[in-house]
């Protein structure tokens, strides 16, 4: 069952069960709000990063340049460090594409830099193919 269908069924259960609505809201509400914040974080960062012609110009991001001359800029927000309640990594490549991962947790900026530097790649394509992250295109 997909996430949103499950959330809707839980919402209907809350409405039909007045006694347990507080518990259900605590369990589901936090997760739903966290997911909404994740979407907001991803959209805002994707929009801002695309304003720059080159990933190297993106402020407040980890930038990696490959031997091919291609580069990436990466920003992240992760639940374990910031208390944001969600995991999201936004990657902006020199090809103009924005990729997103919402599953992996780096446990801080230093952890992200260490992991991304350790992926052997000489080009953007090699990096994407060789990564353990689950990047998906962002429209």
Per-residue tens of pLDDT for the chain, all 139 residues: 555 555 445 545 544 555 444 444 444 455 677 778 888 999 999 999 999 999 999 999 999 999 999 999 999 988 776 667 788 999 999 999 999 998 887 878 888 899 999 999 999 999 999 888 889 999 8
pLDDT of residue 16: 53
Beta carbons of 40 and 94 less than 8 angstroms apart: no
pTM of the model: 0.75
All structural domains of the chain with their residue ranges = 3-137
């Amino acid at each position: 069952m997909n996430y949103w269908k499950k959330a809707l069924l839980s919402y209907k259960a809350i409405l039909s069960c007045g006694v347990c609505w507080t518990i259900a809201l605590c369990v589901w509400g936090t997760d739903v709000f966290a997911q909404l914040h994740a979407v907001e974080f991803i959209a805002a960062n994707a929009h801002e990063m695309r304003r720059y012609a080159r990933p190297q110009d993106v402020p407040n991001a980890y930038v990696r340049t490959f031997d091919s001359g291609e580069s990436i800029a990466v920003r992240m927000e992760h639940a374990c460090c910031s208390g944001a309640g969600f995991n999201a990594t936004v990657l902006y490549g020199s090809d103009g594409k924005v990729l997103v991962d919402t599953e992996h947790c780096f446990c801080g900026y230093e952890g992200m830099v260490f992991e991304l530097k350790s992926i052997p790649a000489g080009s953007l394509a090699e990096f994407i193919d060789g990564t353990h992250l689950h990047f998906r295109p962002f429209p």
